[in-house]
A and B are shown apart, each in its own frame.
Chain A
Amino acid sequence: MRQRATESTRVITARPGLGQRLREIWRYRELVANLVRTELKVKYKNSALGFVWSMLNPALYLAVFYIVFQLVLGSGIPAFAIFLLSGLLVWNFFSTALSGATGSVVANSSLVKKVYFPREILALAAVGASLVHFFLQGIVLVVALLAFRYQVSPGYCLLIVPALLVLLLFTAALGILLASINVYVRDAQHLLELVLLAWFWMTPIVYQYRLVADKFTGRGWSTDLLLLNPITSIVLVFQRAIYNRVEAVNGETVIPILPADAGAGWYLRNLLIVGAISLVLGWFAMATFRRLEANFAEEL
Chain B
Amino acid sequence: MASVVEVVDVSKRFRLYHAKYDSLKERVIHFGRIPFDDFWALTDIDLEIAPGETLGLLGANGSGKSTLLKCIAGILQPTTGHIRTVGRLAALLELGAGFHPELTGRENVFLNASILGLSKREITRRFDEIVAFAELEAFIDNQVKYYSSGMYVRLGFAVAVNMEPDILLVDEVLAVGDESFQRKCLDRVRQFQRDGRTIVFVTHGADLVRQICDRAAVLDHGHMVELGLPGDAVRVYREHLLPGEAYAEEPGEGDVADAGPRRDARLRIASVALEHPGTGSRPYLLSGEPLSVRVRFEALERVDDVSFGIAIYDAAGKHLHGTNTRILDVPVAPVGPGPGEVCFAFDRIPFLDGTYLVTLGVTTADEGTVYDWREQQDSFEVMNPGRTFGLVELPVRVEVSGGG
Contact = CB atoms under 8 A, between A and B. Distances in A.
A-B complex is real: yes
A2 interface: yes
A27 B117 contact: yes
A157 to B, nearest CB: 33
Contacts of B14: 298
A120 interface: no
Contacts of A117: 115, 117
Contact of A115 (B15, B83, B102, B116): B116
A4 B77 CA distance: 25
B242 to A, nearest CB: 31
Contacts of A187: 23-25
Interface stretch (B84-92, B146-154, B294-302, B363-371): B84-92
Contact of B97 (A5, A115, A295, A297): A115
Contacts of A295: 15
Contacts of B195: 2
Interface string A65-90: 00000000000000000000000000
B310 to A, nearest CB: 37
B164 interface: yes
B94 interface: yes
Given A5-B88, A38-B100, A293 B24 contact: no
A30 B102 contact: no
Interface string A2-38: 1011111111111000000000000110110011001
Contact of A111 (B71, B82, B97): B97
Interface in A231-253: none
Interface in A171-197: 184-188, 191
A1 B87 CA distance: 14
A153 interface: no
Contact of B76 (A30, A38, A185, A297): A297
Contacts of A30: 114, 119-120
A1 B196 contact: yes
Interface residues of A, number: 42
A294 interface: yes
Interface stretch (B103-111, B230-238, B317-325, B373-381): B103-111
B120 A12 contact: no
A65 B212 CA distance: 69
A6 B77 contact: no
Contacts of B22: 184-186
Contact of A1 (B23, B51, B77, B107): B51
B288 interface: no
A215 interface: no
B191 interface: no
Interface of A: 1-2, 4-14, 27-28, 30-31, 34-35, 38, 41-42, 45, 110-117, 184-188, 191, 293-295, 297-298
Ranked nearest first, the 8 interchain pairs of A and B with the lowest CB-CB distance are A114-B97, A116-B74, A187-B24, A13-B82, A5-B88, A12-B83, A4-B87, A34-B114
6 contacts: A4-B88, A12-B74, A111-B97, A114-B97, A115-B93, A185-B27
